[in-house]
Structure 1
Amino acid sequence: MKKLFATLILLAAGAAWLLFSAGAEREYTFRTAALETGDIVAKVTATGRLGAVTVVEVGTQVSGTVKEIYADFNDTVKKGQLIALIDPDVLAARLEEARANLAVAMASVSRAKANLADSARNLKRSKELWSRNLIARSELDAAETVHAVNGASLQEAEARVLQVRASLNQAEANLGYTRIVSPEDGVIISREVNVGQTVAASLSTPTLFSIAKDLTDMQIETSVDEADIAGVKEGQEVEFTVDAHRGKVFRGRVRQVRISPGRTDNVVTYPVIISVANPDLELMPGMTANVSIITERREGVLKVPMAALRFSPPQTDAPENGASPFAPSMPRRRGGGRGGVNGGSGALSAVWTIKDGELGERVQFRAGIGDGAFVEAAAAKGLSEGDLLAISYSEKPRVSLWRRIFQ
């Protein structure tokens, strides 16, 4: 009888535990993503500005007032075409003055030559008279001095001619500089002067026009952070968009990676020049380009969602022996990381699989390239296309049997 009574007590205690268990345990629902095969493209993004490959700034070498303008914004011009005229009147007068000065200098040369010839005859006569003792030595010396002075005067007059001729050439050139001509075939993208405006050619030549040599070939100048510059190489494909053509993707190629550093918001950057074909002239100088430089491309690889790498399994109260409820499928993690070491391409990473709605195994793999949404599983034993990976979870208390019966 005592044994029967003890057995009944044990059965009653077990039934009470089943009925009144208050849900110390919790139920978990996992959100998943299927492991898929596809292409991954690694990109470096940046913002740059479109511009012409060659822009020629046309200035003036003489000061004066702008008299005429023959070309305006967007005009196509040819090499040597007259595009502006500075009032030539003052410089034309200076040219006439230089010509008159040259005539005076030439007359001075003629007079100096005549004086030299006359002094030469006098010197010859003085030498003959002195040889016959008809004049004193002092008279001969005087004749020699006059002849030498006249020779020096001729040299001075000839040098003056060279000087005046140089001034004449300068005056002719300055008059020619009043005609502002295009140095290249191209399109005028800026005009900095108006008719009647005075321009001064001082130490720095003022810019009157900017001419883009060829807008069918353009370039983007952008800056890439030092953290990303190692992956950028000449010849890499580039995709970019501009706000003026929303939804359209343009393409180019990296032409140059410059080694001269800059600094933007305390971040070291390096200039990258991108060549762009613009046959339809859809792109304009100054447009902002949102650039994606394709640094690597992988085709037909296992694509692991980045959310799966960030997943961390539920943390539950462990039993007295310290074992986790997920111990059979959750190897011990070092350092409290989220599913593994996710340090970029080549790093050891890990994800959690889902089997029949329950948390499965933690699988490690070698990460390849990533595109921000997916990362390549380069060496992934235990992973295959179609596997479900945990990306997040929700939890709620487990409902007791008593509540299930009487609710």
Structure 2
Amino acid sequence: MSGAVRWAVGALIFPLLAACGARPADGPPPAPTVLVSAPVQRDIVDWDEFVGRFEAIQSVEVRPRVSGYVQSVGFRDGDIVKKGQLLFVIDPRPYQAALAQARADQASAEAQAVNAGVELERAKTLLDKGFVSKSTYDSRLAQQRSAQAAVAAAKAQVQARQLDVGFTRITSPIAGRVSDHRVDVGNLVASSGQEPTLLTTVVSLNPIHFAFTGSEAVYLKYQRANEAGTRTSSRYASNPVDIQLQDETGFNWHGRMDFVDNAMDTGSGTIRGRAVVPNPDLLLTPGMYGRMRLLGSGAYKALLVPDAAVMADQSDKVVMVAAAGDTVQPRKVTLGPIVDGLRVIRGGLAPTDRVIIEGQQRVRPGMKVAPKPGRIVAAAPTAPQPKVLTQPAAAASPAGDAE
């Protein structure tokens, strides 16, 4: 390579090397920007969830009260029936004949009673004149009283035979939905024996019960709240419930508690409860499954943050806050339920803390951040916030009676 070429290459390389060597050292990276907000403060109540099934408030097995042949069926299988609606007719002719015989026996007894009364009056007249003895009069009196008793017995027999005739028309004892008929026309049904013949069943639908079981821990929680006066026992107050069906995304059915059992099941460690739910469209059917949400606490002040702001630190839950000097600090918190899309913080956070609600994935404890004000927005309410039913201390239920 000639000297001129080497000089030209050097003239190009030396400035580049000089420029590289002259670059100033890099400074610290800028503090990451995060959005911060104080926790939302709100009066809320807790809701506990249970699973259970719907049950008919009234369920009746229709069986005959007299024996005989089925003459007709007065309903269509699966119909909605009214109370008193005709369901079956049993051949009434044998019972009508027995009724006629009983009425004839009553007429005979009444005739004998009239004759005994006449004989008694005659004996009384003769006794006053001294023509009959006192024993003869007493005999006529006994005959008259026996005849009156026979009339009463005959009348009772007529009433019994009238009932038998009435029992040949089997009506629905309640309003609701009837099952299929278990006996066809022409079959003999029996009212006596080990078990009378089952004709059909009827269940009521509106309103309807929702039955469920709760754990011993939940029972104790309700007991403590009842003793403290923050939540009245469902034994004494109709606490509200919301129910979600299998194909629903919301709790669209609303009812009230109406029963809590008197003892825990020793096998499962649970206690039975029950709510009553209006069912005007008769959509709810006994045996259907559902998820129920029950008022679980009295109203209390709570701090709420977005659930995304809560991070896991091994077995602990932490929330990052921008502390003094815009330094990131973790706060170990105790979590509550989700309310309107926000997580309830039961402990570990102060109302004045600046919670990092966006950008917390880019920071670590002790790091400087550039906080910007954000806003925590709650979703539309998914559960009613009812007026909590409380009771004065003097009216508190006995220990062990809370639910």
Instruction: Tell me if TM exceeds 0.5.
Output: yes
CA distance in 2, matches of 1:361, 1:377: 17
CA distance in 1, matches of 2:36, 2:191: 70
Whether 2:167 is the aligned partner of 1:177: answer yes
Aligned to 1:49: 53
Whether 2:212 is the aligned partner of 1:211: answer no
Give the TM-score normalised by structure 2. Answer: 0.60
Structure 1 residues 236 and 157: alpha-carbon distance in aligned structure 2, compared to 1, 3 A threshold: closer
Aligned to 2:368: none
CA contact (8 A) 2:209 2:276 kept: yes
The structure 2 residue matched to 1:302, chosen from 301, 305, 323, is 305
SS of alignment partner, residue 101 of structure 2: helix
Identity of aligned residues (%): 19
Whether 2:240 is the aligned partner of 1:269: answer no
Aligned to 2:112: 108
Cα-Cα RMSD:
4.2
The structure 2 residue matched to 1:198, chosen from 189, 195, 198, is 189
Higher fraction of strand: 1
AA in 2 matched with 1:272: R
Structure 1 residues 218 and 259: alpha-carbon distance in aligned structure 2, compared to 1, 3 A threshold: closer
Superposition pairs for residues 219-238 of structure 1, below 5 Å? Answer: 219-229=209-219, 230=222, 234-238=238-242
Superposition pairs for residues 1-400 of structure 1, below 5 Å? Answer: 42-55=46-59, 58-120=62-124, 122-123=126-127, 127=130, 143-189=133-179, 191-195=181-185, 196-201=187-192, 208-215=199-206, 217-229=207-219, 230=222, 234-242=238-246, 245=247, 247=249, 249-263=251-265, 265-279=267-281, 281-293=282-294, 295=296, 301-303=304-306, 308-309=311-312, 311-312=313-314, 338-339=315-316, 351=318, 353=320, 361-365=329-333, 367=334, 369-371=336-338, 375-378=343-346, 380-381=349-350, 384-386=355-357
CA distance in 2, matches of 1:73, 1:383: 66
Structure 1 residues 35 and 254: alpha-carbon distance in aligned structure 2, compared to 1, 3 A threshold: farther
AA in 2 matched with 1:258: V
CA contact (8 A) 2:319 2:330 kept: yes
What are the superposed Cα offsets for residues 343-366 of structure 1, whole Å, 9 maximum, x if unpaired?
xxxxxxx527599xxxx754234x
Give the TM-score normalised by structure 1. Answer: 0.59
Q: Which runs of 5+ in 2 are unaligned?
A: 1-34, 223-230, 323-327, 362-403
AA in 2 matched with 1:78: K
Structure 1 residues 241 and 118: alpha-carbon distance in aligned structure 2, compared to 1, 3 A threshold: closer
Structure 1 residues 91 and 160: alpha-carbon distance in aligned structure 2, compared to 1, 3 A threshold: same
Aligned to 2:401: none
CA distance in 1, matches of 2:309, 2:87: 59
CA contact (8 A) 1:303 1:377 kept: no
CA distance in 2, matches of 1:41, 1:35: 26
**111-120 vs 96-105, which deviates more?**
111-120
CA distance in 2, matches of 1:176, 1:85: 10
SS of alignment partner, residue 386 of structure 1: strand
CA distance in 2, matches of 1:170, 1:351: 79
CA contact (8 A) 1:305 1:374 kept: no
Report which of the two structures shows the higher radius of gyration computed on alpha carbons: 1
How far has the Cα of 1:179 moved from its partner?
A: 1.0
SS of alignment partner, residue 187 of structure 1: strand
CA distance in 2, matches of 1:305, 1:263: 40
SS of alignment partner, residue 275 of structure 2: strand
Aligned residues: 300
Structure 1 residues 50 and 190: alpha-carbon distance in aligned structure 2, compared to 1, 3 A threshold: farther
AA in 2 matched with 1:211: V
CA contact (8 A) 1:302 1:376 kept: yes
How far has the Cα of 1:72 moved from its partner?
A: 3.3
Q: Which runs of 5+ in 1 are unaligned?
A: 1-33, 129-139, 313-337, 340-349, 391-407
CA contact (8 A) 1:301 1:377 kept: yes
AA in 1 matched with 2:304: V
